[in-house]
Amino acid sequence: MTEHTEIFIDKAAIAEKVGELAGQISRDYEGKDLVLACILKGAAVFTADLMRGITIPVTVEFLQAASYGASTTSSRNIVIKKDLDCDIAGKHVLLVDTIIDTGETMAFLLKRFAERRPSSLRAAALLDKRARRSVYVPLAYIGFDIPDTFVVGYGMDCGERYRNLPSIAELKTTE
């Protein structure tokens, strides 16, 4: 079996969309203390670009989730592997991920972080693979709706590889 990548969303289209999202976020959170909560590792690249497009004061924090069990069923067990370093009580928190697939990771994190009494808690994702959703997740900001296909690059991996691709690519395997 061999693998190859085919560009799905190029650098220019990503940059344009990230700029639009950063503009909307800057307008929506004007006058508020915004905390971007980047979900490692996949959202590192998206968050780095998004924060540089935001024109209001913003802080950035990092967390990492891990999931065990079959990725295709709702029997997955999700845990916080690396927690935020700050107390989010009274803060306006925007959770940032690159892609929402089943939605289980983001739904879990929204539920957990809501218990910490932030002033507001919302989610942003560059890509929404809506056809795969198994649980409802409210997404305040979405870049692109994409079909059910496996993508890599722009921070996203397959077995930890391809995160460094500057574009978003479809990963194809051939016999």
Decide whether 115 or 148 has the Cβ nearer to Mg ion.
148
- Kindly state whether residue 100 participates in binding ligand IMP, applying the rule CB under 6 A: yes
- Kindly state whether residue 47 participates in binding ligand IMP, applying the rule CB under 6 A: no
101 is catalytic: yes
State the residue number with the nearest CB to Mg ion. Answer: 157
- Kindly state whether residue 64 participates in binding Mg ion, applying the rule CB under 5 A: no
- Kindly state whether residue 105 participates in binding ligand IMP, applying the rule CB under 6 A: yes
**Angle (nearest 5°) at CA 138 between 30 and 164:** 80
Decide whether 49 or 101 has the Cβ nearer to ligand IMP.
101
DSSP type of residue 132: G
The single residue among 150, 157, 163, 170 that binds Mg ion, judged by CB under 5 A, is 157
Summarize as ranges the residues that interact with Mg ion (CB under 5 A): 157
Annotated catalytic residues are 101
